[in-house]
Amino acid sequence: MSTDEDRQAKQREAGSRETAKLWRAWRTVHELVQDRGYTLAEEEVKITLDDFKRAHGDSEGNISKSSMKFSALPSEAMIQRAQIPPSEREPNPQQPTVGTIWVEFIEGDNVGIKQMRNFVQFLGGHNYGTGIMVTSVNVTPSAMKIVHTQLDLKVEVFHEQDLLVNITHHELVPKHVLLSQEEKAALLVRYRLKDTQLPRIQTTDPVARYLGLRRGQVVKIIRKSETAGRYASYRFCV
């Protein structure tokens, strides 16, 4: 094989690896969005590699990340889960708005302040409640400060490498179920606890990030037991 042919073969191999990597990240982020309660068509979530190439590749097989952006509406179950139940102190609580989610795969060699500001402005301008930025490079600390200052928007950043495998599918990761506001209130009444008295889970925990947990939410963790079959514990997100 000539030097040119060898170089072209290596380029094709590298291109195939990159395509497969993006496809796996695409599937995982769709599973993540669906598991949070947003509405997605099953064919979007379970897309095959060949269909992915046809949808997002050019004639030379290169994948366009700009075509991989998508949005999803919250399901009725997700909206209901966020509803705050009435109480003696708040007989008519103000209900939160569960907005649409926007996911975008970012191209380029870096993600700095300009890219992050543009992303945040796009979310706000289109009334998205949550935005997920998927990148192949690290985000600068200055850009991340913009993320942490958002009050009305939830902005999340995932590295493509972290989405190659869905961590919730691993046999050693117990099932995590986000409690509704009503279920959370009932749990605290049953055990006569304040939510801050529950064991904690950090927002930076990998499963908490996958589920998009917010501070103040409670998650039920279901584990297998050789004696009891299954047992549940609860964690307060901080």
3-state helix, strand, coil in the chain (%, to 5): 45, 20, 35
| Number of other CB atoms surrounding residue 39 within 10 Å | 14
Asked if residue 172 and residue 120 are part of one domain, the reply reads no
pLDDT computed for residue 58 by the predictor:
87
pTM score above 0.75: yes
Domain that holds residue 153: 1-165
Q: What span, in angstroms and rounded, lies between the C-alpha atoms of 88 and 108? A: 53
Indicate whether 92 and 68 sit together in one domain. Answer: yes
Task: Identify whether residues 203 and 126 lie together within a single domain.
Answer: no
Given this model, what pLDDT does residue 89 score?
A: 85
Tokens of 4: 């040119």
What's the pLDDT tens digit per position in 51-73? 999 999 987 888 999 999 999 99
User: What's the rounded Cα separation, in Å, for the pair 213 and 23?
Assistant: 25
**What is the average pLDDT across 83-90?**
89
Residues 110 and 183 in one domain: no
Whether 68 and 174 map to the same domain: the answer is: no
Looking at the structure, do residues 36 and 101 belong to the same domain, yes or no?
yes
| pLDDT above 70 (res 10) | no
Give the alpha-carbon dihedral of 7, 162, 159, 220, to 10 degrees: 160
- Alpha-carbon distance of 33 to 51, in angstroms, equals 20
Domain end, chosen from 165, 180, 204, is at 165
C-alpha 38/C-alpha 75 separation (Å) is 5
Place of tokens 């975008």: 104
For the chain, what is the domain count?
Answer: 2
* Whether residue 20 is found in the same domain as residue 63: yes
For residues 121 and 107, membership in a common domain is answered with: yes
pLDDT at position 143 is: 94
| 223 and 108 in a common domain | no
The tens digit of pLDDT for each residue in 115-168 reads 999 999 999 999 999 999 999 998 999 999 999 888 788 999 999 999 999 999
Give dist(CA 25, CA 105) in Å, integer. 10
What CATH number should be reported for the domain holding residue 29? 3.40.1340.10
Statement to judge: residues 142 and 179 lie in one domain: no
User: Cα 184 to chain center, whole Å?
Assistant: 22
Give the mean pLDDT of 82-111.
Answer: 91
Looking at 165, 182, 206, the residue that finishes a domain is: 165
Distance, in Å, from the CA atom of 168 to the CA atom of 207, rounded to the nearest integer, reads 7
Q: Mark which of 110, 139, 165 sits at the end of a domain.
A: 165
Same structural domain for residues 43 and 23? Answer: yes
Verify that 195 and 223 share a domain, yes or no. yes
**pLDDT computed for residue 155 by the predictor:** 96
CATH number at residue 201: 3.90.940.20
